[in-house]
Structure 1
Amino acid sequence: MISMLWRPVSTTATVSADHTMNEAVVATDEITESATTCSNDEQRVIEGESSSSIEKHSISVEVGTSLFRFIKGKGGSTQQKIEEELGVKISIPTSKEDDFVSIEGTSVDSVTSAAEKIQAIIDESVNSRNLDYSHFISLPLAIHPELVDKLINFQNSILGNEDACTNENEDTTENKEVDQLSKENADVAVELKVEDGSAAVKVNLTNIPLVSYAPKASKSSTSSDLGIDKSIFIKPKTFHLTVLMLKLWNKDRVKRATEVLQSISTKVMDALDNRPLSIRLKGLDCMKGSLAKARVLYAPVEEIGSEGRLLRACQVIIDAYTEAGLVLENDAKQSLKLHATVMNARHRKRKTWTKKVDSFDARGIFKQYGSEEWGEYLIREAHLSQRFSFDENGYYHCCTSITFPEEMQNNHGCIFICACKGRHFNGDKKEAHQIER
């Protein structure tokens, strides 16, 4: 729904034929003189002198800077069409700090109709792929330095960054061998014969030795040939689990989304039974397409203990945002599949835009890392993260967050710090001392 604020933008004025502005009312305490002035104005109109009375109306519609381009249209065509059709003036701010579009017209009906058309444009835009997701609920994994290091090594291994010097040395050696062969055969004799009356030259090649050069070493499975480049890898410092994708196109929706997450902190803790939660990442899997034409490669997630507490907590978050009207209808129908994305072809940086579906060959990667043990990690918090914006640590900008349990309390009120990589205990001190730290 849009918020409309009505405000007057002009007052009634009378203009005489010689373009001199006359006030309709000179002063409140000069009633007689005012009446005379009005009478004279009426007489001037009768005599043919011009007089106009124009009242304008204006409202402000909260749109959001990310939607301004849809209201403008290509080359301003959409905005111009609405203005001409309804006789209104649409003012779109140039500042990224202002979310409101102003509509001005000579009647309430024309301004209201323009606002309805703008609302229709917003509805169509937010439900299309043309407007990307702006925020999401994330469970950060990049807070674990050892996992970040593993991801960096994973990328370097696939991109072959460690072999760069070796390749250069191999090329240099091959060139030296070719040069040496050329020098050895520089003294080969060639017999030339010129027949009388002929401009042609016969060459006897029988004495020229045949030399075969070893083919230059070629990488039959180079990263570029497989559609693999650095841009499709997830940045290690942003590694996370995604709970819910959101389109928050104005400040009001961002504020509401922030309040929702804060309001359900207790419910999330209850879903987790107020106990720490750890996950295990193992192997790789392909989400879209085949391994030969993969689009998304991810590490499957397994909850330590298999109690379903993680999914229950995530469902509490999803339900709260859906009830608040912050989840699009199509997204609300999607089932949750927690995964840790390591490669995504959609992130590829191109010099030229293309509609072609992007993919990469992940067969070699899967062969090498298909059973990789990424480790076990504690889930410490949930964030409302902003896409395309990052904090000083390299992770997505956090609009707000709620913490997950990191301590356990027994029946006697004793607090045990959980550093057990997901292994749980029930308050027994002996058992607590036996925990692998």
Structure 2
Amino acid sequence: MDVLNANKYVVNGRVYRRNVPLEAAQGGGLRTTAIERFDLPDVDDDYDSDQDFEKTNVDNVGDEIVEQSTTNTKVTATPAAPAADHYGIVYNERKRAFMTEISFPEELLGRLIGTKGTTKKNIEDSTGAKIDIPKRGYAGPVGIASPSRESVERCYDRIEMIIFDGRKRLPFTHFVMFPALEPQVVNAHVKLIDSIRGSADVDEACKDPSIFMPPTKLHLTIIPLWLFGEKEIKATASILDEAVFNFGVENSGGVDVKLKGLSHFGDEDLDSVRVVYAKVVDSPKAQDLADQIASKLVTAGYGQEPRGGKVKLHLTVLNTKYLDTDDKEKQVIDATGLFKQFGHVEYGNFKVNQVHLCTMGATDANTGGYPVIHTSSI
């Protein structure tokens, strides 16, 4: 690739560099280096009521695009063996079309369709590819097809950008963490809960059993994630394996963690606390690994960059969001007495030798902990 004259396109005012397509690498020719304009219009966050986008099997999409002109693309595709690449493209001999699918959250389909279908049509016209969208209420991937492999790649890229920008509007689905289930940590946590609930000097609101982190779910959060579909989950697992493997080359056998003292999130005063946590101190290797993992997942577009660029490792002791109330004023506690009596508590030292990818907000029926989707061993 000519770095100074790389292929580019613009989406909503941002310039993106386009990698050399496989066809060009095989001698199929390069697209011109002129910047292509692609400004997405404002879109609805729900399906447009005037359109009924039926879901058809991606295998049928080729019937609609075989006769489609490829003048919007600078490359004419030739049948080739499917490549094991990011796009997962296959060539259908009968349809004479390149095809692929991309996992797309149903909550964001309105942003892909656009007002009266304008965004979908804009992408199709600009890339020369046909987009197949699931019918409302039916989960499934978005299909892409075109006689040109490069058209499929360009269409895939632009759909990915919609996902990248739109996923931040949705709740997190997963998170990466260090488990903290060593016996001494669990015992210290249970002892602290019992002491808080039995203390006459602690405000009654701090004693509600529902606000304490269950001992079976103790962990150090590294980064929350938005993951949509099995492909993104597998990609995240690969990122974790690679990061942990590279780290473990010089740090085999796990990393040491020290939990000492309590703190709380935010700038709120002690009389209006929402979260109390045990502080991670003097644990440089654990911090380094957490920062490396978070950085890689942010770069992949699956997570949000931690404040200040550093992961704030901590073990949650209690969180008022678990209170069974809609009254915002009751979702804070006066932790003055709690911190005065227990602020210097120590959970002790333990060794972390695994990194877990877990489902957010769920419970494993067998363990009582978070459902673990993937484990990377240090």
Shared fold per TM-score greater than 0.5: yes
- TM range, smaller chain: 0.5 to 0.7
Superposition deviation, residue 233 in structure 1: 1.9
Superposition deviation, residue 9 in structure 1: 5.1
Q: TM-score, normalised by structure 2?
A: 0.58
Q: Say if 2:264 is the partner of 1:286.
A: yes
Compute the RMSD of aligned alpha carbons.
4.3
The structure-2 alpha-carbon separation of the partners of 1:117 and 1:401, relative to structure 1 and needing over 3 Å to count, comes to closer
Tell which structure's C-alpha radius of gyration is larger: 1
Q: In the TM superposition, what are the counterparts of 1:94-243 in structure 2 within 5 Å? A: 94=137, 98=140, 100-101=141-142, 122-126=163-167, 128=168, 130-142=169-181, 144-159=182-197, 221-223=203-205, 229-243=208-222
Could you list the per-position Cα deviations for residues 163-192 of structure 1 after superposition, in whole angstroms to 9, with x for gaps in the alignment?
Answer: 9xxxxxxxxxxxxxxxxxxxxxxxxxxxxx
The structure-2 alpha-carbon separation of the partners of 1:102 and 1:332, relative to structure 1 and needing over 3 Å to count, comes to farther
Measure, in 2, the Cα distance between the counterparts of 1:82 and 1:115. 21
Measure, in 1, the Cα distance between the counterparts of 2:159 and 2:323. 33
CA contact (8 A) 1:293 1:359 kept: yes
Measure, in 2, the Cα distance between the counterparts of 1:327 and 1:115. 17
What secondary structure is seen at the aligned counterpart in 2 of 1:360?
Answer: coil
Could you list the per-position Cα deviations for residues 18-77 of structure 1 after superposition, in whole angstroms to 9, with x for gaps in the alignment?
Answer: xxxxxxxxxxxxxxxxxxxxxxxxxxxxxxxxxxxxxxx9x876344xx3134359xxxx
Unaligned runs of 5+ in 2: 1-15, 17-56, 67-96, 122-130, 146-152
Report the number of matched residues: 274
CA contact (8 A) 1:283 1:372 kept: yes
What secondary structure is seen at the aligned counterpart in 2 of 1:150?
Answer: helix
The structure-2 alpha-carbon separation of the partners of 1:360 and 1:332, relative to structure 1 and needing over 3 Å to count, comes to closer
Unaligned runs of 5+ in 1: 13-56, 105-111, 164-218, 405-437
What residue is the counterpart of 2:361 in the other structure? 388
Measure, in 2, the Cα distance between the counterparts of 1:338 and 1:125. 27
Instruction: Work out which of the residue numbers 39, 48, 62 in structure 2 matches 1:8.
Output: 62
Measure, in 2, the Cα distance between the counterparts of 1:119 and 1:371. 47
Superposition deviation, residue 367 in structure 1: 1.8
Q: Say if 2:348 is the partner of 1:372.
A: no
CA contact (8 A) 2:274 2:331 kept: yes
Measure, in 2, the Cα distance between the counterparts of 1:82 and 1:235. 48
**Match of 1:394, as an amino acid?**
G
Superposition deviation, residue 241 in structure 1: 1.0
The structure-2 alpha-carbon separation of the partners of 1:253 and 1:84, relative to structure 1 and needing over 3 Å to count, comes to closer
Instruction: Work out which of the residue numbers 129, 134, 141 in structure 2 matches 1:91.
Output: 134
The structure-2 alpha-carbon separation of the partners of 1:396 and 1:11, relative to structure 1 and needing over 3 Å to count, comes to closer
Measure, in 1, the Cα distance between the counterparts of 2:192 and 2:296. 37
- Identity over the aligned pairs, expressed in percent? 22
Superposition deviation, residue 238 in structure 1: 0.8
**Match of 1:243, as an amino acid?**
I
Q: Say if 2:275 is the partner of 1:296.
A: yes
What residue is the counterpart of 2:107 in the other structure? 69
Could you list the per-position Cα deviations for residues 348-367 of structure 1 after superposition, in whole angstroms to 9, with x for gaps in the alignment?
Answer: 343x486x794221112112
What secondary structure is seen at the aligned counterpart in 1 of 2:170?
Answer: coil
What residue is the counterpart of 1:414 in the other structure? none
Could you list the per-position Cα deviations for residues 369-398 of structure 1 after superposition, in whole angstroms to 9, with x for gaps in the alignment?
Answer: 112122222222111222223332222222
What secondary structure is seen at the aligned counterpart in 1 of 2:233?
Answer: helix
Could you list the per-position Cα deviations for residues 191-225 of structure 1 after superposition, in whole angstroms to 9, with x for gaps in the alignment?
Answer: xxxxxxxxxxxxxxxxxxxxxxxxxxxx99432xx
